[in-house]
Amino acid sequence: MANYPVNKIRNVCLMGHGGDGKTSLVESLLNISGATDRVGKIADGNTVCDFDPEEIRRKFSISTAVAPVEWNDCKINLLDTPGFFDFESEVQCAMRVAESALIVATGKSGPGVGTEKAWERCEEQAMPRMFYISKIDEENSDYYTSLHKLQKQFGVSVAPIVVPIFEGNRDTVGIVDCVIRKAYRMDGNKRVEIPIPEDMKDRIDQHRAALCENIAELSEDLMERYFAGEEFSDEELIAGIRQGVKDLVLAPVFCGTAATGIGSYALLKGIADYMPSPDEKPVELCEDEKGELIEINCTPNGSTCAFVFKTVADQYGRFSYFKVMSGEVKQDMTLVNKRADANEKMGHIFTVCGKKTSEVPVVGCGDIGAVSKLVTTRTGDTLSMSVRKVELEPIEFAPPCYTQAIAAKVKGAEVGHKAGAAASEAVDKGSFQVGRLIGKAKRAIADATAEEPQPADPAEIPAADVSVSAPTGTLRASEGERAANGEPVTYVPVSQTSAARTADAAPKADAAAKPKVKKPTEAQKAAAKKKAAQASTDAARMVGKGLGRMGKMFGSFKEEFDKASK
């Protein structure tokens, strides 16, 4: 994938309620743009974004996935986020690096709780947004009812850009772009222009007039032209919608169906035309190593600065997703993590599409990439040049919806933070040391009481039946002679090399090869008991020593407890 300039990049966060069709929409956009050769289905478990085994089994998204799309000289990084509220942190990580949001609502039920929460998050962060009404071809789906619910709930800024064309029994056959006033239908993966139905022309004119009215509020010049009755050109309307989205006075509405690709072309064009680029996002402020406030401008000529918004750990190691906030990240570049005060080498950097990675030499300004095997960096860290160490604002996670706490029954029995930490340390260290001493004592007792095999009587070993090969390849002396000389006896079977060796020689050699152990004498038993008793005494002394150390630790703990409880 080519390296795009910063003004040709769009980082879009897909948000909405669970099951409203975000992942299926990404599949359609990837297929329409040519990134994939087929449209994956959630039911079949072959979508690009839901690749985790748990996501395939449960049939919904669990983590944020990145899916880049190339369209009309633009690179659109789609951040597919989970819709279920259990994975709220994944949405916040994606919003931290996105410049705009695409809120997906279904045509069957309209805006849900997830739609409301997505709008509220965008409001809190002043993030430009657009709507997409999905599943308009399904049974009991009603596009206009869902549109009116959105307008009633979120205000007059919600304005349709694309409306569907229905035929017969509510069959969706195409869409009409209200800005350029053209209608299209899908022929496979190709878009074919068709005439606008006569019964829809008045409705299209009404939608276009509403867009012109919203745009006229952007400047006095446009307002005067609007009241003078002048009609805006298509180019002026597109530029006005883009400015209105950026200024948060307009929230365009698109629609379509992922199964057939209807509306996907118009949505890609709308993202490229109306969504802001990374360099149009407000400048971020942060502190440098001297504590002075500096601005981080999203420009390729600036000092390199990257923000890590997601970390994945698997059997192959750690994989960190980052966005280049300034400058550019090159292969084998060394950056500094200010929080950890450590250097990180960007050895191999990648672009990511679902679970597929492609190694690249450079990730440009405003773009999203990934790097492997970072040592100290974690989610929310900033990587910058050593000449200008900075730390951007970390990801602000929402407070939990449900919390629990433990309280003491008796008043005054609470333990302070320091006292609790001292207790934990004392128990951990004391238990470890006593356990180690007890294990050492057990090994000493086991060594003292074990019966060692006694060497066999040299006289009972056959003198010259078996010969073994020495390491140098020469024949050693007989086992009987080796035993007589006090050498250790080793029985190794050898192949027959002599014609004089008879067939019954092997059983004799096997019998001779079995080590013979003599029973210990009374004197040896007495010595072993004495040794075991001494080992037990030593073990008791070791355990007592360990308990003494624990006593000292708990004494220091009591002092900390007394200080904390005062």
Query: Over the stretch 507-556, which tens digit does the pLDDT of each residue have?
Result: 444 444 444 555 667 777 777 777 767 766 766 676 666 666 666 666 66
pTM for this predicted structure? 0.71
Mutual angle of helices 88-97 and 113-125, in 10-degree steps: 40
pLDDT of residue 277: 95
Q: How far apart are CA 367 and CA 10, in angstroms?
A: 8
Q: Is the pLDDT of residue 333 over 80?
A: yes
Q: Which amino acid is at 278?
A: P
Of the candidates 461, 458, 455, 462, the one whose C-alpha atom is nearest the C-alpha of residue 517 is 455
Which of 161-175, 235-249, 387-401, 495-509 is most confident? 235-249
DSSP, res 485: T
Return the bridge partners of 63, or none.
Answer: none
Calculate ∠ Cα 70-71-77, nearest 5°. Answer: 50
Return the bridge partners of 235, or none.
Answer: none
Cα 325 from chain centroid (whole Å): 20
pLDDT of residue 475: 39
Q: Which is more confident, 96 or 522?
A: 96
Q: Is the pLDDT of residue 502 over 70?
A: no
Q: How far apart are CA 60 and CA 24, in angstroms?
A: 11
Q: Which is more confident, 485 or 97?
A: 97
Pairing type for strands 251-255 and 190-194 reads unpaired
Average pLDDT of the segment spanning 412-425: 51
Q: Is the pLDDT of residue 361 over 80?
A: yes
Residues 103/138, Cβ–Cβ less than 8 Å: no
Q: How far apart are CA 434 and CA 550, in angstroms?
A: 8
pLDDT of residue 439: 58
pLDDT of residue 445: 54
Query: Over the stretch 17-49, which tens digit does the pLDDT of each residue have?
Result: 999 999 999 999 999 999 998 899 999 999 999
Token pair, residue 496, equals: 């027959």
To the nearest whole percent, how much of the chain has pLDDT over 90?
Answer: 52
Mean pLDDT of the chain: 81
pLDDT of residue 411: 65
